[in-house]
Structure 1
Amino acid sequence: MTDAGLWSLFAGSFLASTLLPGGSEALLLWLNLEQEHSFLTLLGVATAGNTLGGLSSWIMGWWLRRRFPGADLEHPRQRRALAWLEKHGAPLLLLSWLPVVGDPLCLAAGWARIPLARATLFIALGKGARYAALLWVSSPSG
């Protein structure tokens, strides 16, 4: 059962960070309250899944730019994300955890050809900080 919870957290975190709808916070909070896993284990699993999900959006953006080099991003959110990225660069991916704008931001980063290593670093830092804050706030006392 313990491993199943962690795998569910990983899968939920991954799906929550793709262009598909979903959320991982409820499962993370429940697992934290159950106290079967350490803070660092939960943080690592959730961050890894969510980061890989964000990178799947980055890969889609990179692939779309490569496949359709003359095309523009169609959705206004994606165009805004691309404009922000062009202005602020990879550190803007610290905000990839935000609802609504985070997924298009990762897609736009791939489209803008933000280097994979830099994208991974900033996506992981942003998503990890959010999960750390959720775990800290929800940690049972004592």
Structure 2
Amino acid sequence: MMDFFIVFASSLLAATVAPFASEVVLTAVLSRQPDAAVLLWALASVGNTLGSVVNWWLGKYLLHYQDRRWFPVKPVQLARAQHWFNRFGVWTLLLGWLPVVGDPLTFIAGVMRVRLALFVTLVFIGKAGRYLTVIWFAERLLL
């Protein structure tokens, strides 16, 4: 039972600004519990999507603090990200699983007030696909 919690928690943390490699945790747990691949996939996908919802929420509700010194995004960076998001659209959320750009992308989606249901749907599709790929490779290469 603890393995399942660890996969969920590591996936959730990995989607926030905390640097964490949930794929390593998922693969390690999968090697101990190969019969639970579907459950592990679901836990990792949902956990990682919920972590992205945290980023969305931060983007949506913390924007009114953007003039504060401690605000982590500079005005120029924010404007550039908003321009990029407007140019390429909401479909970029399918790439929310990508390293480096995925977390800021989900934050900007909150700033841009993307509807939560649409956000969750698109982000989940991308993240579920990534974890499906991780499990597929892990089963073929390591197990």
TM-score where L is the length of structure 1: 0.86
Q: Is the 8 A contact 1:78 1:107 kept in 2?
A: no
Unmatched 5+ stretches in structure 1: none
- 1:107 and 1:75 map into 2 onto residues whose CA distance is 14
Partner residue, 1:123: 123
Q: How large is the Cα RMSD of the aligned pairs?
A: 2.4
Measured after TM superposition, the shift of residue 116 of structure 1 is: 0.6
Unmatched 5+ stretches in structure 2: none
Which amino acid is 2:118 matched to?
A: R
Which amino acid is 2:44 matched to?
A: A
- 1:77 and 1:32 map into 2 onto residues whose CA distance is 39
Partner residue, 2:61: 63
Instruction: Give the fraction of aligned pairs with identical amino acids, expressed as a percent.
Output: 34
- 1:124 and 1:9 map into 2 onto residues whose CA distance is 16
Partner residue, 1:27: 25
> Number of aligned pairs?
139
Measured after TM superposition, the shift of residue 35 of structure 1 is: 2.8
Which amino acid is 1:60 matched to?
A: L
Partner residue, 1:84: 84
Partner residue, 2:97: 97
Measured after TM superposition, the shift of residue 81 of structure 1 is: 3.6
- 1:76 and 1:103 map into 2 onto residues whose CA distance is 18
Q: Is the 8 A contact 1:78 1:105 kept in 2?
A: no
The 1:79/1:139 distance shift into structure 2, 3 A limit, reads farther
TM-score where L is the length of structure 2: 0.85
Structure 1 residues 44-101: Cα deviation after superposition (integer angstroms, max 9, x where no partner): 0000110000110000000023x34889951766544432321222210111111111
